[in-house]
Amino acid sequence: NAGVTQTPKFQVLKTGQSMTLQCAQDMNHEYMSWYRQDPGMGLRLIHYSVGAGITDQGEVPNGYNVSRSTTEDFPLRLLSAAPSQTSVYFCASSSDRALNYGYTFGSGTRLTVV
């Protein structure tokens, strides 16, 4: 049982490049989300999904797109990377839409935009 798997672990992008951060979970969790972690700012919600085909914006959605075509996968797309998107990105999933049982987090993707 792998839990939540994020790839890649590290990535360096040039300003303006695009890329997709991958997230997959094998726990049949309906709820998935993306957070970014910056020093002194904690974890901020980017986008979330309550099931396949359903996504919504979080606190800081600008510059990011998501889709949820399957229960297992929830990729995060950066269409035109900016230095302000340098951060550590975490994907998380939960079995309960009401978040009653907490999140399971992936190990993160460290992204640097130069």
The site for other proteins (CB under 8 A) is made up of 4, 31, 33, 35, 40-45, 48, 50, 56, 58-59, 90, 92, 97-100, 102-103, 105-108
Residue 106 CB, nearest approach to other proteins (Å): 5
Nearer to other proteins, 59 or 79 (CB): 59
Distance of CA 24 to the CA centre of its chain: 10
Shortest distance in whole angstroms from residue 16 CB to other proteins: 29
Q: How far apart are the first and last CA of the chain?
A: 36
For residue 32, give the nearest of 2, 62, 86, 76 by alpha carbon: 76
